[in-house]
């Protein structure tokens, strides 16, 4: 090698060393920051659990047996003409009214229109002269006469579309979102739109416009976010099912906190047109953000997903049977490093109980340790921060956005209630603005790691494997900053939005404080049915949703 070649090789090596060192410094900064926040969170979690007593539900328990029936059971009764859609709709409206007075989950309702639509559904059913006509009617309208509730951000024509923003408080949705339209085309009847945080960018259902959406199991705690109202209504037995959205756990976190099932479908499966906010500049946005169902009954999930997916449902092959003896259960209790607040013992216990249940059935299980999970913070933050084209909370504009200093000033003012914005969404906007403190040149490296992890985990799970792991590291947070302190726990959920893998939250009963515990089940893309089948098996074995206890 001549002198020129040697110098060039040394220059390349030096450049590589500097690049690695720079990456290490940035990763170290993020990890030290995460460690400090998590250490504070752990202390705060322990203290608050000790000194703040549980505020048990003070709304009436469920007494009408109609409220304890799954969607499939209600459809069977409708087909058998044992009940009417009018009875179902009015029963649920009454239940919503009696719980919402305490829980504050409803933004705006359409009860009168829903009752009219229920009577129309009953007329269609009554006009069917025989079993064949009835079968054809429900084949065309598979959810005929079934009421449901909708997260405000998903868009119901004519109803509130403020998405928790003071500046948008008088906005009405001009049209139904695509997923809502799919439900309507199937004969389902929307009753209302429910609470979500400002621009869906927080993990609590608390806004300046509408106040706090409370947890049905402990009214001092959050119902999660951003599908806060849907978690609350379903947990309290006030909805047959809810239509929600999830970009970093917004279906699964409320499902955990409120003790119900929630499914985040395969990335890109369901149209998110009509959702607010929406990015027209980020091609991966419809991949990260997905619409999905929240429900008390796992057995309803396949039907609801099939309707929501429309033409794309054929990709899921939901009607094909699963050979359970060929199923492979992988499981994990953490992301494999010290950068997360420790997972609650009772959540770990729920995972262990599920694994032992499968082992007793002769199904293979294996604890999974993927070294790539240790980089989950950088992978997730770099992907989330890369989303462009979202409107600013401050200016309500995509093009005219405040600078970093202005956002920091608004964050400081929001802590003292001096501006009409909530703090967490402003913080998320700042994180996107500064690219989550990750140099733009390094984002490409993490994007490449996403591709590698997607391939590796996809090949591992294949067409017969699922991964069971925590949805979040703890049960429902208290309000007043606890969700921000525990923000790193959302990496468990956000990772699978970034990867595009389907994930279902599965409730596994209540802990010693009467709060719901559970875990999520993840499968390879388009293998949603594996998640749903495991959820159904767990519901059969352990009972699923448990009504809030006094």
Which residue numbers are catalytic?
A: 151, 226, 250
R_g of the chain, CA atoms, integer Å: 24
3-state SS, residue 548:
coil
Q: Residue 320's beta-bridge partner residues?
A: none
Exposed, middle or buried: residue 127 (CB in 10 Å: 0-12, 13-18, 19+)? exposed
Taking the CA atoms of residue 525, residue 530, residue 531 and residue 534 in that order, the dihedral angle to the nearest 10 degrees is -160
Separation CA 452–CA 135 (nearest Å): 47
Work out the number of other CB atoms within 10 angstroms of the CB of residue 73.
Answer: 14
Please spell the DSSP secondary structure of 418-470, one letter per residue. -SSS-HHHHHHHHHHHTGGG--HHHHHHHHHHHHHHHHHHHHHHTTTEEEEE-
Residue 271 half-sphere exposure toward CB, CA atoms < 13 A: 16
Cβ contact 288:494 at 8 Å: no
Q: By 3-state DSSP, what share of the chain in percent is helix, strand and coil, each rounded to 5? A: 50, 15, 40
Separation CA 371–CA 157 (nearest Å): 46
Please spell the DSSP secondary structure of 272-297, one letter per residue. -TT-SS--SS-TTHHHH-EEEEEES-
- The length of the chain, given as a count of residues: 550
Please spell the DSSP secondary structure of 159-225, one letter per residue. SB--TT-GGGTT-B-SS--HHHHHHHHTT-EEEEEE---GGG-SSS-EETTTEEPBPSS-TTBB--S
Omega into 277 within 30° of 0, i.e. cis? yes
* Pairing verdict, β 290-295 and 242-246: antiparallel
Instruction: Give the list of residues 6+ apart from residue 45 with CB closer than 8 angstroms, or none.
Output: 341, 474, 482, 485, 486
Helix 301-309 with 71-79: angle, nearest 10 deg = 80
Instruction: Give the list of residues 6+ apart from residue 187 with CB closer than 8 angstroms, or none.
Output: 121, 141, 142, 143, 144, 145, 146
Work out the number of other CB atoms within 10 angstroms of the CB of residue 82.
Answer: 10
């Amino acid at each position: 090698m001549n002198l020129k070649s040697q110098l060039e090789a040394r220059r390349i090596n030096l450049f590589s060393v500097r690049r690695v060192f720079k990456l290490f410094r940035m990763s170290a900064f993020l990890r030290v920051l995460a460690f400090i926040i998590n250490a504070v969170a752990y202390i705060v979690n322990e203290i608050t659990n000790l000194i703040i007593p549980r505020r048990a539900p003070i709304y009436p328990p469920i007494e009408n047996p109609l409220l304890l029936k799954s969607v499939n059971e209600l459809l069977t009764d409708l087909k058998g003409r044992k009940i009417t859609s009018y009875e179902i709709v009015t029963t649920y409206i009454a239940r919503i009214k009696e719980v919402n007075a305490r829980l504050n989950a409803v933004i705006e309702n359409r009860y009168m229109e829903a009752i009219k639509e229920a009577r129309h559904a009953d007329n269609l059913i009554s006009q069917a002269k025989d079993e064949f006509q009835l079968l054809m009617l429900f084949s065309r309208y598979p959810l005929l006469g079934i009421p449901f509730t909708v997260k405000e951000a998903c868009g119901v024509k004519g109803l509130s579309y403020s998405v928790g923003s003071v500046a948008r408080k008088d906005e009405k949705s001009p049209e139904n979102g695509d997923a809502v339209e799919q439900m309507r085309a199937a004969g389902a009847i929307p009753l209302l739109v429910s609470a979500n945080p400002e621009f869906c960018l927080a993990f609590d259902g608390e806004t300046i416009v509408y106040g706090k959406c409370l947890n049905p199991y402990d009214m001092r705690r959050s119902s999660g976010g951003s599908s806060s109202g849907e978690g609350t209504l379903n947990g309290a037995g006030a909805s047959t099912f809810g239509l929600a959205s999830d970009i970093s756990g917004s279906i699964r976190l409320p499902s955990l906190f409120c003790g119900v099932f929630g499914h985040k479908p395969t990335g890109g499966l369901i149209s998110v047109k009509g959702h607010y906010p929406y990015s027209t500049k980020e091609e991966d946005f419809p991949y990260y953000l997905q619409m999905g169902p929240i429900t008390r009954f796992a057995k309803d999930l396949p039907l609801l997903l099939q309707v929501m997916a429309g033409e794309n449902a054929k990709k899921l092959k939901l009607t094909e049977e699963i050979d359970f003896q060929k199923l492979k259960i992988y499981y994990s209790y953490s992301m494999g490093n010290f950068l997360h607040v420790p997972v609650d013992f009772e959540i770990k216990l729920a995972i262990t109980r599920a694994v032992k249940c499968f082992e007793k059935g002769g199904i293979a299980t294996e604890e999974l340790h993927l070294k790539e999970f240790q980089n989950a913070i950088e992978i997730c933050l770099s992907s989330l921060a890369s989303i462009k084209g979202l409107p600013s909370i401050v200016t309500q504009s995509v093009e005219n956005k405040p600078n970093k200093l202005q956002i920091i000033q608004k964050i400081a003012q929001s802590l003292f209630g001096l501006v009409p914005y909530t703090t967490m969404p402003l913080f998320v906007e700042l994180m996107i603005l500064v690219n989550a403190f990750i140099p733009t040149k390094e984002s490409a490296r993490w994007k490449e790691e996403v591709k590698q992890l997607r391939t590796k985990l996809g090949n591992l799970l294949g067409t017969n494997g699922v991964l069971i792991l925590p949805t979040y590291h703890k049960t429902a947070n208290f309000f007043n900053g606890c969700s921000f302190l525990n923000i790193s726990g959302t990496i468990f959920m956000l990772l699978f939005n970034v990867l595009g893998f389907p994930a279902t939250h599965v409730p596994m009963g209540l802990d010693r404080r009467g709060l719901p515990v559970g875990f999520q089940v993840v499968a390879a893309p388009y293998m949603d049915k594996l998640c749903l089948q495991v959820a159904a098996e767990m519901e059969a074995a352990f009972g699923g949703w448990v009504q809030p206890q006094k």
